[in-house]
Structure 1
Amino acid sequence: MDAIVKNHPAAFKAVKDQDRRPSREEAEEAVRTLIAFLGDDPAREGLLDTPARVVKSFGEIYGGYRQDAGAVLERVFEEVGGYEDIVLVQDIPFFSHCEHHMVPFYGHVHCAYYPRGGVVGLSKIARVVDVFARRLQTQENLTASIADAIDGVLKPRGLAIMIEAEHMCMAMRGVQKSGVSTTTTRFTGVFKDPAEQVRFMTLVRGRQR
């Protein structure tokens, strides 16, 4: 699990060290400060309960900090009838938040692997995506985190991860260009072979047509 933890060292330290985490009351007060900084009145009727709502919603949006991807993947099914070919789970939707501006980015994850002695339930791959997506990070780091978790626990003969996402930090601010898609990939094992990468891409793109 070291590969999983090292991607978010500060975050994991904060979760483990409960005594150093701000209280809910402190978090709500921070939201009030931000509302005032924006130029609104946190005491007006429409905003009175906003700090509590924001802190509660953060608990869900960033719930991945309290989850362990290794635990999600721990059950492996070894009775697969001798199946050794590619397993592809694609178009897994996700929502995440950029660590630079805390603005959403969202899209789909495509994951393929060649089993080594067993497979996991298909829903587990989607759950691993959620574990890491519900944190602050870059798309590049999200790609690496998902790959490291699956590769570290399942130890497949090869793993391919591709993420396609749109970033609101490009659409809502800065350059303000909507509809721009960013693609990141990670290949391990047999998927380092260009021919296998072509096969993976062909399967993914063929389904998207």
Structure 2
Amino acid sequence: MDWERVQKLVRELIIEIGEDPTREGLRETPRRIADMYSEIFGGYDSNSELSVQFSEDSDTVIAKGIQFYSMCEHHMLPFFGKVHIAYSPNGRVFGISKMVRLVEKYSKRLQIQERMTRSIANEMQAQGVRGVAVLVEAEHLCMKMRGVRNDARMATSVFRGIYESREEKEAVVAMIRRPAEDI
């Protein structure tokens, strides 16, 4: 990405909204925004490294409460929350850091929550697991700050493989919802 061009465009935007980009508080804003964009949109160049696995097996592995921050593609405002990933290994398990990196890979992009949820599930499924369930709960600033101005949260889910049956869906959701102290 051409970060100098991004800085120029941000400077132009500051002018267009009626501000003075030479004002003390705004002088470094174009650079700060370009730096921020390189971080929050880093998912386009990210590698989740799910190919790194360990020989082990389990019925179900769950990574609960993986925090994420993303940007809505409709208004370029943040949405953020938690991702829960459950999967049934097929003789090999992933380190939890790999699942965190997978969430970062897809959350650090312009997108919608539904696509992010599906993309995470698709990549997990592509690694040969017997099943995967991804649940995402998020708050959207595009709803809180503008338009309907409402605090509603959104939840999305994708169930693949063995988790597609009603019984398995209910069981994995119950495990995800169970408080950590009850495990």
Q: CA deviation at 1:68?
A: 2.1
The structure with the largest helix share of the pair is 1
Q: Which residue of 2 aligns with 1:6?
A: none
Q: How many residues align?
A: 181
Matched, 1:94 2:68: yes
TM-score, normalised relative to structure 2: 0.95
TM-score normalised per structure 1 = 0.83
1:43 alignment partner, SS class:
coil
- Aligned mates of 1:203, 1:147 — CA distance in 2: 18
Matched, 1:65 2:78: no
Per-residue Cα deviation, 1:150-196 (whole angstroms, up to 9, x for no partner): 111x2111100000001000000100112x11010001101011100
Alignment of 1:1-209 (within 5 A): 21=1, 23-69=2-48, 72-78=49-55, 80=56, 83-152=57-126, 154-178=127-151, 180-207=152-179
Distance 2:110 2:88 in 1: 30
Question: How far apart in 2 are the matches of 1:149 and 1:206?
Answer: 26
Cα distance between partner residues in 1 of 2:162 and 2:169: 9
Identity of aligned residues (%): 41
In the aligned structure 1, how far is the partner of 2:5 from the partner of 2:96? 40
The CA deviation at 1:55 is: 0.2
Unaligned ranges ≥5, structure 1: 1-20
Cα RMSD after superposing both structures: 1.3
Structure 1 stretches of at least 4 aligned residues deviating more than 3 Å after TM superposition: none
Structure 2: distance between partners of 1:124 and 1:84: 17
Q: Which runs of 5+ in 2 are unaligned?
A: none
Larger strand proportion of the pair: 2
Determine the C-alpha separation between the residues in 2 that align with 1:59 and 1:36: 22
